[in-house]
Structure 1
Amino acid sequence: MVIRHFLKWIGSAKVAERAAAATALARAFLDHQLPFEDRCEAEAALTLLLDDPSPKVRAALAEALSMSSQAPAQIVAALAADQHDVAACILVRSPLLGDAELIDRVASSDGPIQALVASRPYVSMSLSAAIAEVGELEACLALVSNDGADIAQLTFRRLAERHGHEAALRERLLTNPRLPGDCRHTLLVKLGEALREAPLVRALMGARRAERVTREACMRASLTLIEHTRTHEHAALVEHLRLRGELTASFLVRAVAHGKVDFFGSVLMALSSQSETRVRAVLASGRDVAVTALFRAAGLAAPMHGVFLRALKVWREVAAGRRVAGAQEVSWLMLREIESTAETQAGSTARGELAALVKSIHLEVLRENARCHALAIAAA
């Protein structure tokens, strides 16, 4: 009887009155205090409110039903497909919306709606993948800022690929502890590309010099990245660099000179197809013959073998506590190793290029160490 009066009254009531009545009726329905017949009538009345011309009434209905798992499914589905102001609380809170409905909503909506879905207390791995694949920047920002989002490594990579050129997303991703190392490298490359194409940089340096400077800066940043990449992620980072064509001899020489021996071991495992146990044992305590054989299996050029051997011996002593040394000393010893090796006609050109590379690394380290020393003196 009450529901019949409600349906007759609602046609002439004001918007504020209808909104209040929608809230009261929804709460009464959820309280389970109504008899079965009245509950059926109440559900019919709530369904009728979906056709109310005022979004304020529909928003009040959505607010009242948004957190309940007992709300009528057809009403929740309709409210979730309504305009932004109405659908917001349903999309963010409702436990009745499954991944299938949410993924469909993401695929058919714009950034603000997608961002609401990405802000849910829990976002599943499949829903995160859908947002990363089709979501606009606003939604992707909301996703990576959501601690309740279950984001797969592949999803992180897709986010970096699609929106890595956006400074806001780069910042959010780089501060996320779950971000894989190869994604961090992708973002570094994106940053380098953005700097290289900046009109101010090109005007000050010229296109060719800007490209060279940003490439060298990205290489140095990649070495720093290795320090902050967990060991179990090295394999993914190695594969990423190899696919991008950046796993070059120059990069490996720099890595070894700076003491990235664990990463170098991961590179040797990938290139030689030998087991982790074997590679780690050879690098840690293997004889020169075994280490050289490993280098050959990995396809490293012969002129580089002696340089890598010399550096590895120093880093072994440092790890064992028998020596104190850094990149400055190691790069100098690598250079001396090249100079002391008798040149051959076939290898003279390659050895000369290697010497130039190691010398440039040594000079870079000297400059950086002197800069740090000067700053320390100034701060004292």
Structure 2
Amino acid sequence: MSDRAPSDPARRPTPPASVSRPVASPIWPSVVWRAEDADALDAQYEGRTRGYAYARESHPNAEMLAAAIDALEGVPEAGGGGLMFGSGMGAVSAVLLGLLKSGDRVIASNQLYGRTLRMMTQDLPRFGIGVEFIDPTDAAAWATAARTPAAMIFAEVVSNPTLRVADMEAARAAAQASGALFVVDNTFTTPRGWRPFEHGADVVLHSVTKLLAGHSDATLGWVAARDPGVREKLFAAQGSIGATASPFDCWLAERGVLSFGLRYDRAEANASALADHLATLPGVEAAIYPGRPDHPDHNRAGALLQGRFGTMVAFRLAGGRAAANAFIRAAEQLPFAPSLGDVQTLLSHPPSSSHRALTEEGRLALGITQGFIRVSVGIEEIETLKREFSTAVAAAV
């Protein structure tokens, strides 16, 4: 009998010993980890030894993925490294609920991800936290808002879904002037386009579900902080709200991160070409892409992003909701799905998905009409995309 064989069929066998190591990362699905004794567990929790106890707190797949994203984002070593969450909104929730308290004031971009906006407008007020929304492209608005002390500045570099480019230098200056933590959601822009820690950010977060994982098969979030004390608060919030990252999803996303740079470069080149193509099609009221000279923030995007204009495109169909429906139905090979960052091009209609919680007036103030389509551009052959979009737009006219 093998010395690894259990004495009872209900007992797990001991893993086989090996002097070699796997090339591909294993998956560690265990919820709990066994310690030698109570003293050994104390040593782990007190930081004198390194180990795992309960998967809600940490596990190897989460730490390996976090380390890979840390390297992409250039996380300051003193901060202690990033934390993985069960979703992008789990990460947002930990930042807002873990770092703010009743009576605090937040200065936020008015062009954030729809669920983040919902949390700020409907949930934070219930906890006595006030939020002032401003136009993120307006330097004067940042400066004016910063005249009153704040606990947090919250911004995205490129907004979802309108692709406006924030004045991040003004946002950083506002954080300094108001004594606030400078928080950046870098999901859209990614570290390939901009690395917030290099520009004064205190906290950076991602919906890893999107471009970093890149295959629409893993739901995850990531947060890192410059200061270890802030990280401790985020870690405590993670455990309290139960935003646990699945080992399997972390394993999938780690594999996706390995090809992130190649995928991003190909999709970005496609996005630029597709935006220019859309601008030539009858029935397209506006083609929106920061790399185009007609984009309202083109000059700022060029200076800020150094030519990395991203993988997202948006456009407005002149025919409103009816044209949007006709376009989506005709685009049979382009999934209509409310996400982004996949290897395949995806379509989204913000009025019926990410921004449905806003009023019609609120959406129109952001330029989101019923004919507004957001495109997460993938890595297909560009001629294939041009042909499919031409056909679908023609059906919507």
Coarse TM-score class (shorter-chain normalised): under 0.3
| Structure showing the higher helix proportion among its residues | 1
Q: Is the radius of gyration larger for structure 1 or structure 2? A: 1
| Structure showing the higher strand proportion among its residues | 2
TM-score by length of 2: 0.24
Work out which structure has the larger RCO, using CA pairs closer than 8 Å and 6 or more positions apart in sequence.
2
